[in-house]
Structure 1
Amino acid sequence: MTFAYQEQLAAGSAGEDVRHATWLLVDDGTVVLTAAGQSHLLRAGDAALIGAQVRHRLATHDGATLTRADLRAVAVGYPLANPLVVRDFVGRHGGVAELLRRCPLAGPCRPSALFASGYASLLGAAMTASWLEDTGRGTDGPAPALDPAVGQVMNALIADPGRAWSVETMAESVHLSRSALGERFRRSLGQSPSEALRDVRMRAARHLLTGSDRPVEQVAYAVGYGSGAAFSRAFTAAHGIGPQAWREDPSAARDADRREAHGSDDRTDRTEEQHPADAVLVEHRAS
């Protein structure tokens, strides 16, 4: 997660279909979230997490105020619903909600990237715990283990990201076919192997852009792209803003998110343009 901001939806707003990772909290009013062929009426205090794989839209009849963030699930130990709706999030996790309200990432206190990571962990834990409780799974005991093959591939990506990974080489590393590995990834993580690789590399890019002074061209090679141009295209498609603009002002991504909400999302996976990556940091929970 790199930004959070408050947004006003005008009365009668119908919204447009978009596809990007979103966490939202309804501060006031009511909102209809349409995603994955279903509609969810969200009232003040409700929250929702929508993964980047699902197109969604927001509409309101009388107007609403939202807190929004680009919370992304990099890898999770639970097969969470997408979208994931939590009723009365404020009543159940008032401290987390108040933290974002009092010190939003784009607000006057302007917390650092380290705080943003902490916010993401809190939100991810709160959303996951509520979902487990609501579905009767409970929160006691260890999280269910990932599919062994998925876990092995993810560990391999983390241990040797410099390798020229493709779906085929990932599948070969665990003695599975491409289609079998893809099905296991979708069941365990809700995304394909190439999407997981892309998310790992994009998170690494965000980490390097905000935490180092490497030139963008070097960042491109470090996270697995063969050229600065290929990296810039992929980064812009994933974030709605170029890597240099992100580095200069990460909070500007919230404005890119607003622009993205008014246009189409025809992102394509460009893994064929990627170059072996340097070692990167990967969180195994919501980030």
Structure 2
Amino acid sequence: MTTSRVESLAAGATYDVTRGPHWVLVVEGAAVLHAGAAHPLLPGDAVLVSARQAFTLVACSDTELHVTDLAVGVPTHPLPSVLVVTDFATRHDGITALVRSCPTVAQCGPPLMSSSYANLVGAAMTESWLEDQGLPTRDDPASDAAVAAVVAAVTASPGEAWNVDRMAGLVHLSRSALGDRFRRELRLSPAEVLREARMQEARRLLQSGDAPVEQVAHAVGYGSSAAFSRAFTSQHGVPPQAWRTTAGRPGRSASATAARRLELARVGQRAS
């Protein structure tokens, strides 16, 4: 998480984001999130949108949102690209109080505190979603020590010359054995985990500084900016420089379409 802010929308206004990641908490009012499907959001609801997902949020009434660019680093469970948790504010009242008392990252203290803040929100969203799906929430998905060791190593140093052979050698396993353990524990391959660790660091570097894309590419383990750009575009839908330009800078339009207004009215009636 690198940005955090409060957004106020008038009734009918839209909040458009070309790409995630975003975490949105509805503090007051009601809205409809459009991201493939329509997701009505009432006061206290929260939604986590992945880095690859564009979305538009339309206010049903005067609405206050708390918005951050929270991203899941290396997921411990396979999560949907749009994860909605109803009544988040009541289910996690302590975290909600923290969010409301700390509306911007600058107010949250040093980077370590901001990271801890992000971890709290991410864990609460994941646990609530698992609970809503009827899935266990208290087990440790990375219970395999070999998987945990590899994940820790690649996330700590994503720019090193990692490949599956080196990852397997780190824990004295064959490629196939490591792959089996990763799929069993995380439902992801070692290569997918490595890619996400590198993309997480790339997003941080792109958004937090002005380093050239070529420098970011080498910092996250790619031999050329072309290879990095292909990988980044495949994951995010836009090239690195375009993502840097638009990330966290949503556009707005003054009103919704007639069809959306009808939907807003229906959701507004349910909210009242």
2:196 match: 196
What is the letter of the counterpart of residue 143 of structure 1?
D
Please list, as runs of the form range in 1=range in 2, the aligned pairs for 1:84-99 lying within 5 A after superposition.
Answer: 84-99=83-98
- Bigger Cα displacement from structure 2, 14-23 vs 127-136: 14-23
SS in structure 2 opposite 1:53? coil
What is the letter of the counterpart of residue 19 of structure 2?
R
TM-score, length-scaled by structure 2:
0.66
What is the letter of the counterpart of residue 131 of structure 1?
W
- Bigger Cα displacement from structure 2, 65-74 vs 46-55: 46-55
The change in CA–CA distance for 1:170 and 1:219 in structure 2 (over 3 A counts) is same
Please list, as runs of the form range in 1=range in 2, the aligned pairs for 1:122-161 lying within 5 A after superposition.
Answer: 122-140=120-138, 142-145=139-142, 154=151, 157-158=154-155, 161=158
2:113 match: 115
Structure 2, unaligned stretches of length 5 or more?
A: 169-173, 233-238, 254-272
Superposition RMSD in Å: 4.4
Distance 1:74 1:261 in 2: 28
Please list, as runs of the form range in 1=range in 2, the aligned pairs for 1:7-18 lying within 5 A after superposition.
Answer: 7-16=7-16, 18=18
Distance 1:119 1:30 in 2: 25
Please list, as runs of the form range in 1=range in 2, the aligned pairs for 1:23-172 lying within 5 A after superposition.
Answer: 23-35=23-35, 37-106=36-105, 109=107, 111-140=109-138, 142-145=139-142, 154=151, 157-158=154-155, 161=158, 163-164=160-161
Distance 1:47 1:79 in 2: 18
The answer to whether the 8 Å contact 1:50/1:82 transfers is yes
The answer to whether the 8 Å contact 2:154/2:194 transfers is no
What is the letter of the counterpart of residue 65 of structure 2?
L
1:240 match: 245
The change in CA–CA distance for 1:74 and 1:158 in structure 2 (over 3 A counts) is closer
The answer to whether the 8 Å contact 2:73/2:197 transfers is no
Q: Describe the superposition over 1:28-48 as per-residue Cα deviations: whole angstroms up to 9, x where unpaired.
A: 11110122x321110011101
Matched pairs, number: 237
1:258 match: 249
Structure 1, unaligned stretches of length 5 or more?
A: 242-255, 263-287
The change in CA–CA distance for 1:170 and 1:68 in structure 2 (over 3 A counts) is same
**Post-superposition offset of 1:169:** 9.6
The change in CA–CA distance for 1:27 and 1:193 in structure 2 (over 3 A counts) is same
Distance 2:6 2:204 in 1: 27
- Bigger Cα displacement from structure 2, 155-164 vs 63-72: 155-164
TM-score, length-scaled by structure 1:
0.63
**Post-superposition offset of 1:16:** 3.9
Distance 1:61 1:160 in 2: 45
Distance 1:118 1:156 in 2: 20
**Post-superposition offset of 1:23:** 0.2
SS in structure 2 opposite 1:257? coil
SS in structure 1 opposite 2:7? strand
**Post-superposition offset of 1:155:** 6.0
State which structure, 1 or 2, has the greater radius of gyration over its C-alpha atoms: 2
- Bigger Cα displacement from structure 2, 153-162 vs 114-123: 153-162
**Post-superposition offset of 1:83:** 1.0
The change in CA–CA distance for 1:185 and 1:151 in structure 2 (over 3 A counts) is same
The answer to whether the 8 Å contact 2:14/2:252 transfers is no
The alignment-based identity, stated in percent, is 39
Q: Does 1:222 align with 2:219?
A: yes
The answer to whether the 8 Å contact 2:77/2:186 transfers is no
